[in-house]
Amino acid sequence: MDFSVTVQIEMRDQGLQKKSKKPSFSSNSLLSCTHVSYPSGLSWVQKTLTYFRFPQLLSNKRLVHGVFTRVGGLSSPPYDSLNTAYMVGDTPDNVTVNLDKIKKTIGSEHLMFMNQAHGNAILVFGQDHNGLPYEVPSGDAMITNIPGIALMVKQADCQGVIIFDPERCVLANVHCGWRGNVNNILGGVVTRMKKDFGCRASDLIVAIGPSLGPCCAEFVSHKDIFPRDFMTFMVRENYFNLWAVSCWQLLKAGVLEENIELSRICTRCRTDLFYSYRAEGTTGRFGTVAMIR
Ligand SMILES: [Zn+2]
């Protein structure tokens, strides 16, 4: 993968989409709004909820998935409206209704999510492993081969990364912020899929969702927090392409370049569609959901 070309394309795309100020947001008006642009190359669905699917993942009939926007939920500002997280200050009953809407859309009664900790804990729910936990577990990645269990990652600038092995029907959903990149959690998940389920890295299909783009990923203290080899991915002073970092880590783990899909949507630039911690501070979390059927 030629990262320099990728970066240029991303910078240009994001520049075109960039909003000069935070838009006033209403889920109902957004649905009827004709000037909202939906990034191309993805399969968008606008029904009760607005979400998109990655084309390569969508072609796998054993997999159901959706990256849900903030549109169509019950939560009030600043959590408007499809907030998936209980721990951000939103009204819990509204979050429960939002999660029920997502469950209905995906077609599952079982929605698994984590207390995400920006660490490198990988949770495995396999038919030959521990059963499903009764309480919300702490961790940043989930792997399962159990059909009907929907795995959800919650984000506002971090990456939600879906990894699927269509040969052995094993699914992972990963929360990867910059600390996840520093911990190489993506490489860790590929290793666990190989070790615990016999997956081959070359079979894996990966999709990297909306998150902080190279246009907005400023890290002024990068010398203190990033390993030196991340400097390859600095696109201008203090700005990093974390999408490219994730691709590089996946390639190092043996994933094939043609099996990696990127949404190329920057959350900080698109607060009309997604939540952004950097843009909004107190805000909700959108959900990236995947399930083996
Ligand atoms: Zn941006």
CA end-to-end span of the chain? 32
For tokens 């900790």, what's the residue? Answer: 117
Structure tokens at 250: 């996946």
Q: What is the mean pLDDT of residues 115-144?
A: 87
Residue 206, CB half-sphere, CA atoms under 13 Å: how many?
Answer: 30
Q: Is residue 68 in a domain? A: yes
Tell me the CA–centroid distance for residue 282 and ligand 1, in Å.
18
Residue 210 forms part of a structural domain = yes
Residue 101 has pLDDT above 50, yes or no: yes
Examine residue 40 and state whether it is found in any structural domain, yes or no: yes
- Residue 140 falls inside a structural domain: yes
Supply the range of the domain harboring residue 126: 3-15+30-292
Which residue in the block uniquely carries the two structure tokens 């077609």? 107
21: in domain: no
Enumerate the β-bridge partners of residue 65. 290
Scan for tokens 């490198």, then name that residue.
120
Residues forming beta bridges with residue 236, ordered by sequence position = 239
d(CA 216, CA 268): 7
Q: CA 96, CA 259: separation in Å to the nearest integer? A: 34
Cα 176 to ligand 1 centre (Å): 17
Q: What is the pLDDT of residues 189-247, one digit of tens each?
A: 999 999 999 999 999 999 999 999 999 999 999 999 999 999 999 999 999 999 999 99
How far apart (Å, rounded) are the C-alpha atoms in residues 82 and 67? 12
Residue 39 lies in a domain: yes
Cis previous bond, 23, omega within 30: no
Say what the pTM is. Answer: 0.88
The pLDDT of residue 38 is above 60: yes
Residue 30 clears pLDDT 80, i.e. is over it: no
Q: Tokens for 189, please give them.
A: 């998940």
Please give the distance, rounded to the nearest whole angstrom, from the Cα atom of residue 175 to the centre of ligand 1.
Answer: 19
- Whole-number Å distance, alpha carbon 19 to ligand 1 midpoint, is 9
Give the chain's radius of gyration (CA, Å).
Answer: 18
Distance from residue 7's CA to the centre of ligand 1 (Å): 12
Look at residue 2 in the predicted model and tell me its pLDDT: 43
Percent of the chain with pLDDT over 90: 82
Q: How do residues 108-122 score in pLDDT, each as one tens digit?
A: 999 999 999 999 999
Q: How many whole angstroms from 146 Cα to the centroid of ligand 1? A: 36
Token duo for residue 187: 């490489």
Ligand 1 centroid distance, CA of 215 (Å):
4
- For residue 36, the model assigns a pLDDT of 72
Q: What is the CATH number of the domain that holds 232?
A: 3.60.140.10
Residue 178 forms part of a structural domain: yes
What is the C-alpha separation between 165 and 246, in angstroms, rounded? 18
AA identity, residue 164 = F
Number of domains in the chain: 1
Chain mean pLDDT for the chain: 89
Per-residue model confidence (pLDDT) at position 270: 97
Return the structure tokens found at 273.
């569609």
Using the mean position of ligand 1's atoms as its centre, give its distance from the Cα of residue 158 in Å: 13
Tens of pLDDT along 62-96?
999 999 999 999 999 999 999 999 999 999 999 99
Q: 3-class DSSP state for residue 262?
A: strand
For every residue of 246-257, DSSP letters joined together read: HHHHHHHTT--G
Task: Say if residue 187 is exposed, middle or buried (CB neighbours under 10 Å; 0-12, 13-18, 19+).
Answer: buried
Query: What is the per-residue pLDDT for 226?
Result: 98
CA of residue 136 to ligand 1 center, whole Å: 32
Burial 252-265 (b: 16+ CB within 10 A, else e): ebebeeebbbbbbb
